[in-house]
Structure 1
Amino acid sequence: MNKEIISFAISATEARDITTFYQSYQRLNRGDYIVFQAAYQRVIITIYENKKHEHKVTFIGYGALSEARKWNKEAQLVKAKAPPEKGGWRCFADQIGSDEVGVGDFLLPMIVVAAFVRGKDIPILEKYGVKDSKRLTDAKIREITPPLLKIFKVSKLTISNERYNEVIASGENLNSIKAKMHNRALLNLFKQFPDTKNIFVDQFVGESKYFSYLNDPNEQKVINITFKTKGESYYPCVALASVVARYAFLLEKDKLDKRYKLSFPYGAGKQADTFAKRFINKYGSEQFKKIAKQNFANYQRTLEDD
């Protein structure tokens, strides 16, 4: 009998739930981006968090599939990996692409940016060193983005945490919000450049699921999209969108820091929990409800401790 390998994306809340469930079986780990690991029966359960604060979990071992399906009924065995793709841009024609930031941040807003790039202008991006924003320092992003915004057309959508909570309460989920924001940002640019044939989205959900979220008959859909994980590594427009989104995210943090005279932390880790308690002590729980994503596990923990 061979070892089974299962891997799938999870939310911050699901990461917290899985951690709590297997807490008694936790073991030490030293791997990059590993935030939790446990050995349960004959299965190793590992939770990862990347620099965008997105989570995934892997189950490896004998009986791993049945264990994984306790958390995801549609979990499947991981197929053998294809040969790694070579790096470099995949498209040099005119293009529109989108990316987002703030998905895994408890106290900061989510932002989606779409960018239009003409093929002839790709060397400009390379001149400024545009690539995946996660590989650039905040200082570099603050330096290069203003001049880029004078050259390239972008569409930026920001959903405050207060509005995010209202939409979640209405029955939407994180991916449906992201899909609708991506579609609207892409549409804003596609209306300006309707002859654009190359449209890319940094993939966060399967294609059929993405379009199923676009269920408003009054909202035009941008179709013929190429979905690609790590799209910022392959398409200049997604790389630019990633950089601009991060820049806008930094500006939103600046505004919150200035308004509340506190330094808002990134992510949803212990720093966010500590900050939340300080914020409530200074501004009260009612104000806290407006600035935090209420469907994060951090929110319930904070109110229980308050």
Structure 2
Amino acid sequence: MGNVVLNLEMNKIMEMRNYYGKSLLDKNIPGSVFAAKTSACMITAYKSGKVLFQGNDSEKEASKWGSASSNKPSSPSKPKSQAKGDLPVGIGQMSVIGSDEVGTGDFFGPITVVAAYVKKENIPLLKELGVRDSKDLNDEKIIAIAKVIKDIIPFSLMTLKNEKYNQVQQSGMSQGKMKAILHNQAILNVLDKISPEKPEAILIDQFVQGSTYFQHIKGQKAVAKENVCFSTKAEGIHLAVAAASILARYAFIQYIDKLSESAGFKIPKGAGAQVDVAAAKLIMSKGRDILPSYVKLHFANTDKAIALVNKKRN
């Protein structure tokens, strides 16, 4: 599926809005003037004047309104010199695969890891769409942005469900190793998707030292090593990491919603007292044996929830 972006005057955008009147969508896309969907193309116009065409007929549809410049693969640029902390100079404006995870500190729900590829020519568009540090976005905005960018950028989602998480954790695997394996696989998947194109850098939101990360994935069949770098607060360094974080959080929200539906009540996020109460309620309604499918058992919240149940029953 191709993507085409045009920069148009507002009067032209309003003309387009009238033209696509019968195809307009009732969608709340941040910063948009309108969104429309034809049989083979999704059109989203923004207040900045950018108009995004997505779909098999994107170039054909865009050509009705102006000179189309589709996002064609760019050839890798020459290696950049390294800055302090082993980050390439100017990495924020490069074509980068970014990787981030969500759910590691949540009692309920899985760990979701996403690697996403953002080409430098797409950086302005992602900014326009509101992509930034996901910690600054509420769930409603996360969902709205994720639904748009998932069709624009190549990405890979890895989900470590609770049953598997508990199994490998009880076998002695650390959460750090779990995350490293998931990040590596997600990155490999994206590299495969964009091949033969290569990113100028791969940026992982740092959760361990680089040497420890590579030690964790030493036994994997394949390891992404070329141009891999690490940084804390990487969402603020490149939008690829911010986009990955948004998509990972979107997947986590969807999974929590499914758990809530299965449980019959709203499952809270985090690891505070509210999850103790929710887990106790789950035990009371479905039995203790259901916990491995919902929670990370080694969290202290498990014992707290059981204590609440015992208190209610005594």
Normalising by structure 2, we get a TM-score of: 0.67
Partner of 1:130: 131
Q: Secondary structure at the match of 1:226?
A: strand
Contact (CA 8 Å) 2:96, 2:119: kept in 1 or not? yes
AA aligned opposite 2:194: F
1:211 aligns with 2:198: no
Q: Secondary structure at the match of 1:276?
A: helix
Contact (CA 8 Å) 1:183, 1:222: kept in 2 or not? no
Cα deviations across residues 113-151 of structure 1 (Å, max 9, x unaligned)?
000011101111011110011101111111121111111
Q: Secondary structure at the match of 1:98?
A: strand
Structure 1 residue 158 displacement after superposition: 0.5
Partner of 2:247: 244
Contact (CA 8 Å) 1:175, 1:205: kept in 2 or not? yes
Q: Secondary structure at the match of 1:97?
A: strand
Contact (CA 8 Å) 2:92, 2:237: kept in 1 or not? yes
Q: 1:217 to 1:285 in 2, by over 3 A?
A: closer
Contact (CA 8 Å) 1:107, 1:292: kept in 2 or not? yes
Structure 1 residue 94 displacement after superposition: 1.3
AA aligned opposite 1:297: A
Partner of 2:234: 231
Alignment of 1:130-279 (within 5 A): 130-194=131-195, 195-279=198-282
Contact (CA 8 Å) 2:91, 2:201: kept in 1 or not? no
Contact (CA 8 Å) 2:177, 2:216: kept in 1 or not? yes
1:106 aligns with 2:75: no
Largest Rg, 1 or 2: 2
Contact (CA 8 Å) 1:186, 1:222: kept in 2 or not? no
Q: 1:189 to 1:288 in 2, by over 3 A?
A: same
Q: Percent identity?
A: 39
Normalising by structure 1, we get a TM-score of: 0.68
Q: 1:223 to 1:301 in 2, by over 3 A?
A: farther
AA aligned opposite 1:198: A
Instruction: Measure the CA separation in 2 of the matches of 1:272 and 1:115.
Output: 31
1:94 aligns with 2:99: no
Contact (CA 8 Å) 1:214, 1:221: kept in 2 or not? no
1:292 aligns with 2:295: yes
Q: Secondary structure at the match of 1:108?
A: coil
Partner of 2:49: none
Structure 1 residue 222 displacement after superposition: 3.4
Q: 1:210 to 1:248 in 2, by over 3 A?
A: same
Instruction: Measure the CA separation in 2 of the matches of 1:149 and 1:217.
Output: 28
Over the residues paired in the alignment, what is the CA RMSD in angstroms? Answer: 1.5
Q: Secondary structure at the match of 2:117?
A: strand
Instruction: Measure the CA separation in 1 of the matches of 2:177 and 2:213.
Output: 8
Cα deviations across residues 191-231 of structure 1 (Å, max 9, x unaligned)?
23352221100001101111110121523333431101000
Cα deviations across residues 246-285 of structure 1 (Å, max 9, x unaligned)?
1111111111111221111111110011111111000100
Cα deviations across residues 60-119 of structure 1 (Å, max 9, x unaligned)?
xxxxxxxxxxxxxxxxxxxxxxxxxxxxx8421211010000010001111000000111
Count of aligned pairs: 218
Q: Secondary structure at the match of 1:205?
A: coil
Instruction: Measure the CA separation in 1 of the matches of 2:199 and 2:293.
Output: 39
Instruction: Measure the CA separation in 1 of the matches of 2:181 and 2:162.
Output: 16
Partner of 1:116: 117
Instruction: Measure the CA separation in 2 of the matches of 1:144 and 1:281.
Output: 37
Q: Secondary structure at the match of 2:108?
A: coil
Contact (CA 8 Å) 1:93, 1:119: kept in 2 or not? yes
Structure 2 spans left out of the alignment, 5+ residues: 1-89
AA aligned opposite 1:202: D
Instruction: Measure the CA separation in 2 of the matches of 1:256 and 1:177.
Output: 22
Q: 1:217 to 1:152 in 2, by over 3 A?
A: closer
Instruction: Measure the CA separation in 2 of the matches of 1:217 and 1:168.
Output: 18
Contact (CA 8 Å) 2:205, 2:233: kept in 1 or not? yes
Q: Secondary structure at the match of 2:173?
A: coil
